[in-house]
Amino acid sequence: MANKDDEMKYCLRLNLNNPEHLLIHKTLRNLNPEYYKSINQFIIASLLDFISSTNKRKMLTEEEIKKQMGDEFVTKSELKELENNMKAYLSSELITAVINAVMNNASVINLSKTSEDIKKEPDIQGEIVEQDETLSELADLWY
């Protein structure tokens, strides 16, 4: 037998002048006893069905949703915080990479060069090499 501390009681007040309340009253009075053993069982089954089919965001408080969902969903504020953290991290990494490149005298690729500029530059041995026209034109398309 259930302990009295394990039970919770709720009172339901129906206004029989309200058509929806009257419908509930008639339904509870005319329940099929072969299917529902008690009014209490019917109300519990109806509420469980309603809860499972309803959007919980409309029904529960934000605190209760967070407690039930745990880490399942990310809120907009958490997403914005992640975005700001990512921007800060990437900015610091980019600054570090640029400083390291400057400190190590690393050459930076000049993306503004055209095929005409490249034709005039000597190769590794210091000789000016004839460039393939088709290849140079295709390379210009990338800029």
Where in the chain are the domains?
Answer: 12-69, 74-122
The pLDDT value recorded for residue 142 is 66
Question: How much of the chain exceeds pLDDT 90, in percent?
Answer: 21
Type of residue at 116 = E
Residue 25 has pLDDT above 90, yes or no: yes
Q: How confident is the model at residue 128 (pLDDT cuts 50, 70, 90)?
A: low
Quick: pLDDT tens for 50-85. Answer: 888 777 667 777 777 777 766 667 778 888 999 999
The pLDDT value recorded for residue 51 is 83
Q: How confident is the model at residue 6 (pLDDT cuts 50, 70, 90)?
A: confident
Q: What is the DSSP letter of 132?
A: P
Residue 2 has pLDDT above 70, yes or no: no
Contact 60/68 with Cβ under 8 angstroms? yes
Find the mean pLDDT for residues 1-23: 86
Classify each residue of 77-96 as buried b or exposed e, where b means 16 or more C-beta atoms within 10 Å of its C-beta: eeeeeeeeeeeeeeeeeeee
For residue 70, is it left (φ>0), alpha (ψ between -120 and 50) or beta?
A: left
Structure tokens at 74: 């990310």
Find the mean pLDDT for residues 30-40: 88
Structure tokens at 65: 């949703």
Classify each residue of 24-41 as buried b or exposed e, where b means 16 or more C-beta atoms within 10 Å of its C-beta: beeeeeeeeeeebeeeee
